[in-house]
Chain A
Amino acid sequence: MNKKLLILLILVCFLFSVSAASAEEIKIGGVACLTGAAATYGASTKNACILAFEAVNAEGGVDIGGTKYLINYIFEDDQGSPEVAANAFRKLIDQDEVVAILGSVMSSCTLAGAPIAQDAGIPVISPTSTAVQVTLTGDYIFRACFLDPFQGAVVATFSTNDLKAKTAAVIFDNANDYTKGLAESFKESFEKLGGKVVAYESFADESKTFDFSAQLTKIKSANPDVIFLDGYYSAAALMAKQARGLGITVPFVGADGWDSAEFTKLGGEAVEGGYFCNHYSPEDPRPIVQNFVKKYTETYGATPDALATLAYDAALILIDSLHRAGSMDGAAIRDAISATDLECVSGQITYNEVGDPIKKAAIIKVEDGKFVFQKFVQP
């Protein structure tokens, strides 16, 4: 008898978790990893989206077809795991009945959830998934960041034009699609621009590798002009330190994985004078950037990192598309997003036919333990 009562109780709890949309309100879903190793990324994404939506709600909501709707932002944690992301997407679409989804941070999570949204006709804008396959899943899937091949080309262009490098070495994590894609596109672009990649070293899985001396020894004997430390900030800092320890003196370049407040702390002297490619710079003088940086710092007490910026841009794009679509129909929103031409924090954004944005990248230099903006590059 008790067991049956328990089962009944559980079923009743399930029923109560179904929610209903109230009038004059529009639901937008968000998926990111709040727990797990990439927890800080998810936190920045969520904070930036909340900031954007609160700003719109303060003006009475987003104007769709004449009526103003308040935005109800429903956030689900995907724990950095594709299965949980699939469940999160499914819950947002079937249970909470959202109109659009902003997520997820990691490419593997977005790839797990994207087919679900594509089949249900719900548009998805991913702030930071850089894998090429994401937007190829379908026409309802977009992203707010540039792709890995683009970044690799940017770094290669900068190395050739500004650092005047004729030979380069790459060291990357071949267990990670992000670093692997970057390394491949860097090599391709660098060789197209006339340079030669003299050492193409890899290590297996950065979370398990702490000793790069084997690869760095080989790079040192190949004598390149510049070394592309392709990895997330912790691995890149380690690589830089060990490289300097082995006596390598050439400059280092990197990609947006370097972007973190911890990078200069972990790398210290070794990363001074390094350059990396990022989505935006907080020193960009445009008013929209400065306003965003000020608001974010006031509300959350820290300078927004690139992920917060991209999430904010994705939210801005979505609000603008909702306004232009004039309805809550998925197909209409999708068409509106494809026709976007908006000035966002990370630059002017328009979309190509696949769903990837056309924008430029910023080059940042590490000087005196701080990130200093150098220039914009469009390869």
Chain B
Amino acid sequence: MDIESVSTTGHCLLQCPVVLYKAVKLFSTKLGKKRKMTKKQLYDSMNNNILTYNKLTNWKKYLFISVIILFFLFVYILSFGTQAFFQQLVNGIQLGSIYALIALGYTMIYGIIKLINFAHGDLFMFGAYISCFLGNYLVAHNIGFPFIIVLIFSMFVTALLGMAIEKIAYKPLRFKPRLAALITALGVSLFLENFFALSPENVPFPLNKIVFGPKYIPFPALIAEKVYNIGGVTINNIKILDVVITIILMVGLQYIVKKTMVGKAMRAVAFNKDACLMMGINIDNIISITFGIGTSLAAAAGTLFALTYGQLQSPYMGIWPGLKAFIAAVLGGIGSIPGAMLGSYVMGISETFATSINSNFGYSIAFIILIVVLIFKPAGLLGKFTKEKV
């Protein structure tokens, strides 16, 4: 059984349940329409059944989806072997951790001001570059514990940049139509990418110290690498560090959001901004703090990413992970913090498995997930779909 035939079979098999599900859904709605009931009877039945109806179809849907996923995993293990399966699982969890840190930022910002911050991926890139330069400096001067210093410093500096961007570009548009803010976010993202991608030779004096240039930069090895081999699965101590730091940061975030006053204020502003204005909460400060926390998480992701992969590709490196993390946040339910975490791990694991089958499939799996989520559950796995009120 060679890889090509497995991948094509896999593709076909993957299509069938989806098509079947859609057919069943279509058929059942058609059946529903053909039933001749009076309006009163229809409304009564709907009111009575609405709660049970939702619960019923929900568990059927989840069962269906989990059966499909288990079947797929079974086929995968059959073709590649359990060792490869666990190796890819480990890789997926590590990738998911990095996506989780970025997705948390997206979700927090969207939850609080309903804006998709396109510039988030570029703040991820900025954090990675800052940690690279500081890391080079610390290693050259042989200062101890370089990693922790670099991590905290880059988180801090990127938080400052994020808050500055919010004050300059997003605050004036807070009560204007959402479209203007989206376009501004896109503009900020492009500006950051292209500004830092200018080559230092072509740029006049004060700016050429700041720009990074479009080429690859190697990242200093801040932590000595050790490879462990557990039952055929190779794990690297840096990958373990990724997951550990992500969990620490996520726990910290949950603590801030659930147990502190600031967190309570953030949740209140996310729930209803105008009521908070009336309650005397300083919206500006809370939004700035949220931006600061969100972007510092992105910077942590950037540092970990650069440490794991050893190099910074270019100032455009943030576009792709940012996009995938956003799709992960949508998958989990945008605006919901546990949703972002869940969505990112699902995204990381499925991407690793998809890439191991066929690289083009891996490349497009993120978008396939997006389309599937938008068709079947637009609010995401853990999200709530709020109806717009007038």
Residues of A whose CB lies within 8 Å of any CB of B are 35-37, 39-40, 174, 201-205, 207-208, 210-211, 213-215, 217-218, 221, 234, 237-238, 241, 245-247, 262, 265-266
Contact = CB atoms under 8 A, between A and B. Distances in A.
Contacts of A266: 216, 218, 310-311
Given A39-B214, A234-B216, A247-B234, 10 more contacts: A35-B199, A40-B215, A207-B314, A211-B309, A217-B84, A218-B3, A221-B84, A237-B311, A238-B310, A262-B218
A35 B202 CA distance: 9
A234 B320 CA distance: 17
Contacts of A202: 359
Contact of B88 (A37, A208, A217): A217
8 A-B pairs closest in CB distance: A204-B363, A214-B356, A234-B216, A214-B355, A208-B320, A203-B359, A210-B309, A204-B359
Contacts of A174: 359-360
B95 A207 contact: no
Contacts of A246: 234
B184 interface: no
B309 A217 contact: no
Contacts of B305: 210
B218 A245 contact: no
Nearest to A173: B359
B301 to A, nearest CB: 13
25 contacts: A37-B214, A37-B314, A39-B214, A174-B359, A202-B359, A203-B355, A205-B363, A207-B316, A208-B363, A210-B317, A211-B91, A211-B355, A214-B355, A214-B362, A217-B87, A218-B356, A238-B309, A238-B310, A241-B310, A247-B227, A247-B234, A262-B215, A266-B216, A266-B218, A266-B311
Contact of B362 (A37, A40, A204): A204
Nearest to B83: A221
A36 B214 contact: yes
Contacts of B229: 247
Contacts of A217: 84, 87-88, 356
A357 to B, nearest CB: 29
Nearest to B229: A247
Interface in B222-247: 225, 227, 229, 234, 236
B139 to A, nearest CB: 14
Interface in B246-288: none
Contacts, number: 78
B136 interface: no
Given A36-B214, A37-B214, A39-B199, A213 B91 contact: yes
A332 B234 CA distance: 63
Contacts of B202: 35
A371 B203 CA distance: 32
Contact of B355 (A215, A221, A241, A245): A215
A218 B88 CA distance: 10
A170 to B, nearest CB: 13
Contacts of B208: none
B225 A245 contact: yes
A247 B83 CA distance: 15
A238 B317 CA distance: 15
A262 B91 contact: no
Interface string B282-312: 0000000000000000000000010001110
Interface string B89-113: 0010001000000000000000000
Which of A36, A37, A205 has the most B CB atoms < 10 Å from its CB? A37
Contacts of A205: 363
B352 interface: yes
A229 to B, nearest CB: 15
Contacts of A201: 359
Given A234-B216, A246-B234, A247-B229, A207 B313 contact: yes
Contacts of A208: 320, 363
Contact of B227 (A204, A245, A265): A245
Nearest to B361: A204
A298 B18 CA distance: 66
A167 to B, nearest CB: 15
A123 to B, nearest CB: 31
A174 B360 CA distance: 9
Contacts of B234: 245-247
Contact of A214 (B88, B225, B310, B314): B88
A1 to B, nearest CB: 34
Nearest to A172: B359
Contacts of A213: 87, 91, 352
Contacts of B3: 218
Interface string B343-367: 0000000001001100110110000
A214 B91 contact: yes
Contacts of B84: 217-218, 221
A201 B87 CA distance: 17
Contact of A211 (B81, B95, B215): B95
A234 B311 contact: yes
